[in-house]
Amino acid sequence: MHWIDPESLPETAGTFDRFVLNPHGEVDGFIMKDKKTRILVHTPPHMDRELTRHLKQGETVRVRGVRPRGAELLAAVSVTTAGGREIVDNGPEHDREHPKVKHTPMSAEGVVELSLFGPKGELRGALLSDGTVVRVGPKEAGHVAALLAPGAQLAARGDGVQTRHGRVIHVEEIGPSSERLKPAKKPKPKDKKPKHGHGEGAHAA
């Protein structure tokens, strides 16, 4: 998004509520409140350090970004803090790597508060009412979209990360309850190898 001039985009203001994490435990967005509305803001992981340093719960935050089609999401190009600091998406550093974190087995169960999306509006998971972030791969998310919708009962099991900004689970099993979990990834169909016989297509003597 760094190629877009932030000043050319409309500005949306709200109150900062909480961060959203990706499967590596990095901040890749946050939730802000505008009156009674909760707005999901997507930010690229390379903005993690500045956002976590300068955004404080309950303070005003202003966002300039774009809205993808078909998703309740604002993909941020710039974020301005209550103190007037502007944090702009200037793209990642070339040598940037994901942080080294310890993933441990985790599970969660509760009510979906918000669906979570990638920057282009692709469904990527859900935020539970207890603050747990549940992440699902884009291919798998389409098959379990009903479970990721606001108000749905959701149970998940997988490998997760606990950080000072919350916890995130990368889903391996998902369902409406812990007793009805199914693998998030559908098994690949086994290739049927053609049988070599002496029927049609056999070499003539």
pLDDT of residue 49: 92
pLDDT number for residue 196: 54
Q: Whole-number mean pLDDT of the chain?
A: 89
pTM score, two decimals? Answer: 0.85
Q: Which domains does the chain have, with CATH numbers?
A: 6-88 (2.40.50.1010), 104-183 (2.40.50.140)
Q: What is the DSSP string of the chain?
A: -TTS-GGGS-EEEEEEEEEEE-TTS-EEEEEEEETTEEEEEE--GGGHHHHHHH--TTSEEEEEEE--TTSS-EEEEEEE-TT--EEE-----TT--------EEEEEEEEEEEEEE-TTS-EEEEEETTS-EEE--HHHHGGGGGGGSTT-EEEEEEEEEEETTEEEEEEEEEESSGGG-EESSPPPPPP-PPP--SSTTPPP-
Lowest mean pLDDT among 14-18, 36-40, 73-77, 194-198: 194-198
204 vs 146: which has the higher pLDDT: 146
